[in-house]
Chain A
């Protein structure tokens, strides 16, 4: 073959591969970008303001952590055709099933409230009242699911997920020193020495990378999308690309705040946006838009994760491919979660800070169980057949899950007893 023919053949093959990927991508990309939710964006903003570029290396380490955990949900969903809540009921019985399900329902609802807190705080910067934000967001989120096709919902969600990348141009706007980012950021070290504050931030970054809803969401999304065993490699690629994006977004946000807010007393992303909108209106706007988008993306995924879990456990029809009259309870759960969480934010003097702290504590009661069940299920030959974990996968998963359990538990305990690491 001449050069032209070879090039054309490779080009056609690339286009075909890309088309298949675009068809099968979605759950991994969405869950990973939604992982950078309002709480995540706040954590990265404060991390950059407090430690500059000093913890970028740690964020890079979170890529394999996120991938290894979430990849298991792809295989489990594709093989069993069951969501995580149903899989736990089936494999471990009703005690563990009810525990996981009820804990998920509580922690998801509380997390949903925090997403609304993030969204309303972000739009307050543009003088949009919380009531209007909650109303508009709820209407958009309802319209997204009411069109009756999982595929359409997924593609709309990917558009919102792409907006998460706004922190990349924002980082270029602040003209960071590339040499400094590479030399300070990528060489593992503990800025200011290893102390209680630094350890708290390491735990917070781990805690925001793997959340219980992510496991339940991705497995249910894989099932609703109709992925089969043969699609697993595409699901794995989707999850890998999503993991890379989530870490890239986190790193670029740390670069932004590490460049312009390093050393400032910043406690939230909304506060950072408020400060920056005065000195650099475009940058402040970008951070506020990113925070709103993060909350929105988190909210659509979390409310769906809960609705899928309710449907699985109670045996209701639960698919975005069904119309509202075909799956009324599924959509009722979705709408109820949205409206009630949005309403809490509108209550005057509601204990929103307490709710935000409470989420961390409740999440650590569910995360270890969800992760341990995941590994046990992935090791069961009767359930997984040839798709069960290999020895290498088990070693990696056990080490990562062990580390996540220890660090997230310490994070939860530190939230309960703030003076512990002082």
Chain B
């Protein structure tokens, strides 16, 4: 198996490994949302997801039309 150090070299590899560990640590720390998932919260988060997907689609469409 190819290690990070094998691809990027010892020094850069250890930096990447350090950053990965930090990000994993943050993900573990905030793995469980503290806020109670009431119906209002669930609806609000669902709205945000749909909103963001629509925006990404619009941005993608704009990018595609620019390339044409």
Contact B32 A417, beta carbon cutoff 8 Å: no
Instruction: Provide the B31-55 mask, 1 if CB < 8 A to any CB of A, else 0.
Output: 1111110001100110110011001
CB neighbours (8 Å) of B45 from chain A are 92, 96
Contact A376 B58, beta carbon cutoff 8 Å: no
Give the distance in Å from the alpha carbon of A409 to the alpha carbon of B50 in the complex: 13
Instruction: Name the contact of B35 in the complex, choosing from A91, A314, A413 (C-beta under 8 A).
Output: A91
Contact A382 B44, beta carbon cutoff 8 Å: no
Give the distance in Å from the alpha carbon of A368 to the alpha carbon of B54 in the complex: 13
CB neighbours (8 Å) of A314 from chain B are 22, 26
Residues of A335-384 at the interface with B, using a CB-CB cut-off of 8 Å, are 361, 364-365, 368-369, 372, 376-377, 379-380, 382-383
Instruction: Provide the A139-166 mask, 1 if CB < 8 A to any CB of B, else 0.
Output: 0000000000000000000000000000
Contact A372 B47, beta carbon cutoff 8 Å: yes
Is A311 interfacial (CB-CB < 8 Å)?
Answer: no
CB neighbours (8 Å) of B27 from chain A are 94
7 further A-B contacts with Cβ under 8 Å, apart from A93-B32, A368-B51, are: A89-B30, A315-B26, A372-B47, A376-B44, A380-B35, A412-B55, A416-B62
Instruction: Name the contact of B41 in the complex, choosing from A313, A376, A383 (C-beta under 8 A).
Output: A376
CB of A61, distance to nearest CB on chain B (Å): 25
Interface size class of A (residues with CB under 8 A): 20 to 34
Is B59 interfacial (CB-CB < 8 Å)?
Answer: yes
Q: Show the binding face of A for B, using Cβ within 8 Å.
A: 89-94, 96-97, 99, 313-315, 361, 364-365, 368-369, 372, 376-377, 379-380, 382-383, 409, 412-413, 416-417
Known contacts A89-B30, A94-B31; decide if A416 and B22 are in contact (CB<8 Å): no
Contact B34 A361, beta carbon cutoff 8 Å: no
Give the distance in Å from the alpha carbon of A315 to the alpha carbon of B44 in the complex: 28
Contact B48 A369, beta carbon cutoff 8 Å: yes
Closest chain B residue, CB of each to CB of A91: B35
Of the candidates B27, B35, B36, the one having the most CB atoms from chain A within 10 angstroms of its own CB is B35
Closest chain B residue, CB of each to CB of A86: B30
Give the distance in Å from the alpha carbon of A343 to the alpha carbon of B27 in the complex: 33
CB neighbours (8 Å) of A416 from chain B are 58-59, 62
CB neighbours (8 Å) of B48 from chain A are 96, 368-369, 372
CB neighbours (8 Å) of B59 from chain A are 361, 416
Contact B22 A97, beta carbon cutoff 8 Å: no
In the complex, 8 of the A-B residue pairs with CB atoms within 8 angstroms, ordered by the A residue number, are A91-B33, A93-B30, A94-B30, A96-B48, A97-B26, A365-B52, A369-B48, A409-B55
CB of B1, distance to nearest CB on chain A (Å): 27
Contact B62 A417, beta carbon cutoff 8 Å: yes
Contact A365 B33, beta carbon cutoff 8 Å: no
CB neighbours (8 Å) of B34 from chain A are 90-91, 382-383
CB neighbours (8 Å) of B22 from chain A are 314
Contact B41 A364, beta carbon cutoff 8 Å: no
Closest chain B residue, CB of each to CB of A415: B62
Q: List 4 A-B pairs, minimum CB-CB distance, nearest first.
A: A93-B33, A91-B35, A94-B30, A89-B30
Known contacts A92-B45, A93-B31, A97-B30; decide if A364 and B55 are in contact (CB<8 Å): yes
Give the distance in Å from the alpha carbon of A383 to the alpha carbon of B36 in the complex: 11
Closest chain B residue, CB of each to CB of A412: B55
Contact B51 A92, beta carbon cutoff 8 Å: no
CB neighbours (8 Å) of B30 from chain A are 89-90, 93-94, 97
Give the distance in Å from the alpha carbon of A90 to the alpha carbon of B30 in the complex: 6
Contact B55 A376, beta carbon cutoff 8 Å: no
CB neighbours (8 Å) of A91 from chain B are 33-35
Closest chain B residue, CB of each to CB of A92: B33
Give the distance in Å from the alpha carbon of A380 to the alpha carbon of B35 in the complex: 7
Contact B44 A413, beta carbon cutoff 8 Å: no
Give the distance in Å from the alpha carbon of A417 to the alpha carbon of B26 in the complex: 38
CB neighbours (8 Å) of A361 from chain B are 59
Give the distance in Å from the alpha carbon of A361 to the alpha carbon of B61 in the complex: 14
CB neighbours (8 Å) of A368 from chain B are 48, 51
